[in-house]
Chain A
């Protein structure tokens, strides 16, 4: 049987100051496993961006992470507004974040492009009014 570590996180939708707790915990877990720094960096940046998006665009959500010796799989699911035009949302610098959020230093429009950049597999399922789920995979080796 393949060894797998399953982690589950509930991301609250109303607290920016605590956003990043889930990706922080995954980062800590991976460090303790002795996973290489490059893999840890990719996982934590991609997951952090996804987590922040859940908070600022979708009112929170849930994250499932599966760690095996071959890689880290993440599923980030929310029941937010969904994304009408994924191609546009994926453009560097595109953001619908309101001013008050930009003032906090978020909303540079680099989240989704970076998530794609730092992962080996990237899939997005979204429907307007239903929600968004990101399926991410970072390979080890």
Chain B
């Protein structure tokens, strides 16, 4: 198995081996063995579900610490629009953006700017008719990874563009090159991220090279300092930085990207289970009448990212209020780029992580054994063996990662009709008891 960068990690010391996480993983990437969890690197899509569900905080997301900024002479923040939804009574986004500058950033470029450019580009691509419908948004990196792992049939439907954050980074670097004398290495570009999936996409972009993003700081990490800084800001200190509107900021919650396309035939689903259901339907060609499908792994969209602080619904309500005072959009594709600048440069291929073997015959033999083993297992999906289901254990066994004896019920023979019950609960005893009752 190749070792890929993943933001989502396990702190083995904190892990209690409780198995709470294994069933929630959408790609069955977690196993518990010898009382500790581990993540199968090839399968993990960095969705963060296991971070949400672990009661012992043993799963965590790697992101950059604020201290990283000292490594660079010139620092640029790229705030995700989800950040704007984290503050109570915020009326003007410039408070947040000025706050970031006061905290130590030399410049701030909104990711919502990149989002508006991408909305405008996608509208153009739709018009030119080159897209395979229904087009699936590629903005959520966890969705892209989910598709290449579990729904490779749908790879051709993904919108073949980079993400808003990539465009924001390009703009930020270009601007810094013009306005400063610093070399590229001296300039640090940091995404303020709502989720681990986007952090992973920076180190391990699947469809293009990294557009100069140095790292990502979690919203939850920057939040306490940012709030304090914002509180101290005087009205006359507020800079005029905000340069994106309703469409760009709308990308923070589910349905925002789709709304920016100004099309009627779209669907927006959020939350990993809903996303999987939609992908199943799509695979069965049940949604062919749609133009666009927006999918976000987190409930509510990016405002529901596991690295945010506020409840996604509260954040969404706040964004709605903020957007009221904004123009519809401030950025168009032609202001910055051409379509070719934002396309994919690498082919996105299916992940082989779920395949049993490269050779079909070998895979078939393994599958036959897998089925046989599965039918000999109790079918309880109890998780005590450390695999999320009996089928997953059978899968592990044929791959050589586990043994039949890992099942605690392996070889427990059930003798008579109800011998498996503790003595007081067996039929015989019950009949006698009820007989007793009738007598008295």
Contacts and interface: CB of A to CB of B under 8 A. Distances in A.
Interface of A: 3, 5, 7, 20, 23-24, 27, 29, 31-35, 37, 40-41, 44-45, 48, 67-69
B284 A48 contact: yes
B429 interface: no
Given A20-B284, A45-B284, 8 more contacts: A29-B367, A32-B354, A32-B356, A34-B352, A37-B152, A37-B350, A48-B284, A68-B364
Contact of B360 (A7, A20, A35): A35
A136 to B, nearest CB: 16
Residue of A7, A31, A34, A40 with most chain B CB atoms under a 10 A cut-off: A34
B311 interface: no
Contacts of A37: 152-153, 350
Contact of B367 (A5, A23, A24, A40): A5
Given A3-B361, A69-B361, A33 B367 contact: yes
B236 to A, nearest CB: 58
A34 B283 contact: no
A41 B363 contact: no
Residue of B285, B357, B358 with most chain A CB atoms under a 10 A cut-off: B285
B280 interface: yes
A45 B358 CA distance: 25
Contacts, number: 56
A5 B283 contact: no
A99 B22 CA distance: 42
A34 B363 contact: yes
A34 B357 contact: yes
A49 to B, nearest CB: 9
A32 B283 contact: no
Contacts of A68: 364
Nearest to B155: A37
Interface of B: 150, 152-153, 280, 283-285, 350, 352, 354-358, 360-361, 363-365, 367-368, 371, 395
A41 B364 contact: no
Nearest to B156: A37
Contacts of B357: 34
B284 A34 contact: no
A20 B152 CA distance: 19
B280 A24 contact: yes
Contacts of B360: 33-35, 69
Contact of B364 (A27, A31, A48, A69): A69
Residue of B283, B354, B355, B371 with most chain A CB atoms under a 10 A cut-off: B283
B285 A32 contact: no
A7 B364 CA distance: 13
A7 B283 CA distance: 21
Given A5-B368, A32-B356, A37-B153, A45 B285 contact: yes
Residue of B352, B354, B395 with most chain A CB atoms under a 10 A cut-off: B354
A27 B283 contact: yes
A7 B372 CA distance: 11
14 contacts: A7-B371, A27-B283, A29-B367, A33-B364, A33-B367, A34-B352, A34-B360, A34-B363, A37-B153, A37-B350, A41-B283, A44-B284, A45-B285, A69-B360
Contacts of A35: 360
Given A34-B358, A45-B284, A45-B285, A3 B152 contact: no
Contacts of B365: 3
A29 B356 CA distance: 10
Contacts of B283: 27, 41, 44
Contacts of B367: 5, 29, 32-33
A5 B153 contact: no
A33 B359 CA distance: 8
Contacts of A31: 150, 152, 354-355
B284 A5 contact: no
B8 to A, nearest CB: 24
A121 to B, nearest CB: 21
A45 B283 CA distance: 8
A34 B285 contact: no
B355 A32 contact: yes
Contact of B153 (A24, A40, A69): A40
A7 to B, nearest CB: 8
Contacts of B350: 37
A56 B358 CA distance: 39
